[in-house]
Structure 1
Amino acid sequence: MKNRYTDLNTYLRGLFGCRVQKITIDAGLGCPNRDGTLSRAGCVYCNQKGSGTGAAAQGKSITQQAEQAKHALTRRYKAKKFIAYFQSYTNTYAPTSRLKQLYDEALDVENMAGLFVGTRPDCVNDENLDLLASYQDQYLVWVEYGLQSVHDATLARINRGHDFAAFENAVHAARKRGIHVCAHVILGLPGESEKQMMKTAKTLSDMDINGVKIHLLYVVKNTMLHQWFDNGRYTCLDQDQYVNLTCAFLTHLRDDIIISRLTGDPHRKELIAPAWAVNKTQTLNQIRNTLEQQNLYQGMHA
């Protein structure tokens, strides 16, 4: 079965000539949508843990997190090089001097080949983007912006705290410095139709971005979405719906856009619904089988 989309692992192997694995790092940084700068509620789907691993709260240093992950990933995947991926919360939401300390510590770990930084599009500025750009002579540098949707009404509905224009401006600011940009999107957001989701794909395809990460919207404990789910205001996608939407989404993206992820990866103990979301391998296989069976491929409608 040939690959019908441009996946991250193949892209990284092509650049470095070996297996490269991302190491998820929790720097213990916050979020303006939770600390009162924008709001204290956060996005409707996000609980107090956010996407954090809890490693920072456990007192683990950046170096400790990286070395521990390296050992496991080398054993499991025979990885030779690694990407320091600052994932938890908003990883440009600190003074630039502090960010430099964090990024430097991660990149000082042996066999680090790149730096990927997850953040919000309204939390980058000239100073922190210049810092990211300064690493490009030695490392592969990507910034990952949480967008979720190109529709302002949706962003308001999920209490995202920024509009699509903020994303456009952040993409331009990064790309003019040569920094690679990955956009995070969520399928199944409250109130969004299939047509609107495909509009997100088409809009991103027309932009100067390098990658897309596709997430499933799932319900976790102690969130506004959890309340909506309990009172019938929100209904989750079923697995077949999600698979078909993801395959259609891919067809509207340029074929040179790197696909970093095709579904979410919820914590089992926090997940409320849908139950199938924990079956990541099954979902990925179903997406690949559907692409093959329906003769679909990334970019065919871009």
Structure 2
Amino acid sequence: MRILMIAALMTSAFGLTGTAVAQDAALSGRVDRLEREMRAVQRKVFPGGAGQTVEPQIVPESNTTVPGTPSGSPLVDLGARVAALESQSAALIGQIEQAQYRLRQLEDAFSAYKRSTDARIKALEETASAVAVRDPIVPAADVAVATPKPATSKPAAEAPAPKPATTAAAGGARAQQVAAIEKPNSGDAAEDGYTYGFRLWQAKLYPEARRELEAVATKYPKHRRASYAQNLLGRAYLDANAPSLAAVAFYQNYKTNPNGERAPDSLYYLAQALVKLKKPSTEICKVYGELTQLYGDKLSAEMTAGVAKGRTEQKCK
């Protein structure tokens, strides 16, 4: 009888040991797979090199006894913890893959935007080049100094005598007009230069205004007023009946500073300069299209109405 009891106990012990070994082998395989997945996650999160791991911020206290009845054997608890860790690892890998997919989408969208912008800028460059080639740049017609006329073959008695006093008087009157314009002195050279150029432009002293505005745009290209100065420079040429020079100034402002505050205005007045140059409607409509596509939400009510009127006059589609 004792022999039978001993044999039964040994059989039970061996059976339990075999079950424990089988469970331990299964758990070991899961832990190995989990370690491989975590290493893969670390390679994605820390591609710079080894040694960079995520340390837990909350560490369990040692020698702490949890009150209550344990839910199971240590092996069962460890298996539950490994299963939870596996679930978290799978979720983390999924988030990384989604982030990589969104990054690829952003890169594709930026590449498409860059190609579209480059194409539009190239089209405007071709328009500006055509203007420069067909209408060579000439000096503005509003220069105050009179050009001397060539000598005639008439007798001295018939030739009118020169009047230097009159010319000097005219030059003195213009100098007085320029001197009457107040020069601001706020301490900001770019702001003061633009304000002074604007006042000269308002007084219709276009050559003097152009000198001040061109100096601001050249010396302070990163200043906020650079866009204002370059745009007003084009308007000074346009008001002086020099549309070729105006078109070059407007296009230069849009090309070099497309995010400037007066870039939309430059495109608007560029279309007007092309109209004065009697350019084809296709070129003018191209400028109007560029203006509404890039700056439609930034246009004033007056400029929006002007664009609509210009598109109607040019029969833009």
Which TM bucket (shorter chain)?
Answer: under 0.3
Larger Rg: 2
Relative to its length, the structure with more helix (as a share) is 2
Relative to its length, the structure with more strand (as a share) is 1
TM-score (normalised: structure 1): 0.26
Q: Which has the higher contact order (CA 8 A, sep 6+)?
A: 1
TM-score (normalised: structure 2): 0.25
